[in-house]
């Protein structure tokens, strides 16, 4: 009961417009699941260590019949190798699934960062020009081609995907996808100067049939 208020306080940080634990797309869901798996793995190890520590405190001499070398071998080498191999293997599988593989996305957009705002372009709709808000269709994988004008920025929409750096003179690609219509907040996740905290943007997800009209309206 004593820990309940602290647990509830910690859980309040798991929701919100920039929460990675409140996903609204497949890539973000995979990232959130990976986070929970990593948390579960670390919790199991922590509880095991605390259990051994408690037993050693309550029962002096506990484990003294086990040779020291076995504690080092199994506790310090075998167990971490097994646990970390499983976690790293799972992370690699998840990471492969969220990569933007060329030619597999239906829609491409451009995101260009500069001190201290973002502009967005639509290669599939060249007549639209630039917008200050990123518009995407729901239920479709979107490859975002991320570039920068001046210094390194970082494009991040926590509820839709992971983050990726925007580097001057270089193109990076991140795949985002929204499960449902809505407005999703994005930020620059790389400190880039005095205006860094204001370098925010919005992603608006539309029904696919409404997407072309939404782009035309945004361009006006």
| Residue 1 reports pLDDT greater than 60 | no
Of the ranges 40-49, 90-99, 195-204, the best mean pLDDT one: 195-204
Residue 205 has pLDDT above 80, yes or no: yes
Locate tokens 């670390």: which residue?
A: 42
Tell whether 5 is covered by a domain.
Answer: no
Tell me the C-alpha distance between 108 and 116, whole Å. Answer: 23
> Does 92 share its domain with 190?
no
Mean pLDDT of 46-61: 85
Higher pLDDT, 63 or 130: 130
In this predicted structure, the answer to whether residue 75 has a pLDDT above a threshold of 50 is yes
Q: What is the pLDDT of residue 147?
A: 97
Same domain, 114 and 87: no
Say if residue 201's pLDDT is above 50: yes
| Burial of 176: CB neighbours in 10 Å, binned 0-12, 13-18, 19+ | buried
Do 84 and 166 sit in the same domain of this protein?
Answer: no
The pairing of beta strand 200-206 with beta strand 134-137: parallel
4 in a structural domain: no
Helix (H, G, I), strand (E, B) or coil at 170: coil
Same domain, 85 and 123: no
Query: Are residue 117 and residue 158 in the same domain, yes or no?
Result: yes
**Structurally, how many domains does the chain consist of?**
2
- Looking at the fold, whether 196 and 120 belong to one and the same domain comes out as yes
pLDDT of residue 14: 66
Q: How far is CA 112 from CA 25, 56, 131, 162, 166, in A?
A: 22, 58, 11, 17, 8
Task: Tell me how crowded residue 26 is: count the other CB atoms within 10 A of its CB.
Answer: 19
Asked whether residue 12 is assigned to any structural domain, the reply reads no
- Clarify whether residues 113 and 213 are in a common domain: yes
* 9-34 average pLDDT score: 82
Q: Which of these three, 73, 98, 123, is where a domain ends?
A: 98
Domain of residue 166: give its range. Answer: 107-219
Tell me what pLDDT residue 203 has: 97
pTM, two decimal places? 0.81
| Mean pLDDT, the chain, integer | 87
Q: Are residues 32 and 79 in the same domain?
A: yes
- Domain shared by 115 and 93, yes or no: no
């Amino acid at each position: 009961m004593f820990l309940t208020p602290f647990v509830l306080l910690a859980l309040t940080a798991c929701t919100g417009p920039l929460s990675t634990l409140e996903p609204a797309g497949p890539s973000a869901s995979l990232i959130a699941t990976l986070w929970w798996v990593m948390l579960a793995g670390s919790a199991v190890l922590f509880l095991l260590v605390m259990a051994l520590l408690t037993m050693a405190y309550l029962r002096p001499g506990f484990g003294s019949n086990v040779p020291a070398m076995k504690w080092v071998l199994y506790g310090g080498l075998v167990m971490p190798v097994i646990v970390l191999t499983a976690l790293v293997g799972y992370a690699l599988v998840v990471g492969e699934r969220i990569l933007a593989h060329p030619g597999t996305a239906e829609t491409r957009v451009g995101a260009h960062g500069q001190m201290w705002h973002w502009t967005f372009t639509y290669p599939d709709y060249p007549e639209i020009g630039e917008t200050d808000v990123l518009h995407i269709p729901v239920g479709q994988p979107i490859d975002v081609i991320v570039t920068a004008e001046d210094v390194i920025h970082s494009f991040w929409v926590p509820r839709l995907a992971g983050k990726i750096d925007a580097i001057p003179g270089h193109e990076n690609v991140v795949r985002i996808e929204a499960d449902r219509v809505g407005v999703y907040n994005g930020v620059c996740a790389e400190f880039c100067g005095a205006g860094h905290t204001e370098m925010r943007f919005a992603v608006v997800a539309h029904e696919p049939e409404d997407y072309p009209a939404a782009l035309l309206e945004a361009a006006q």
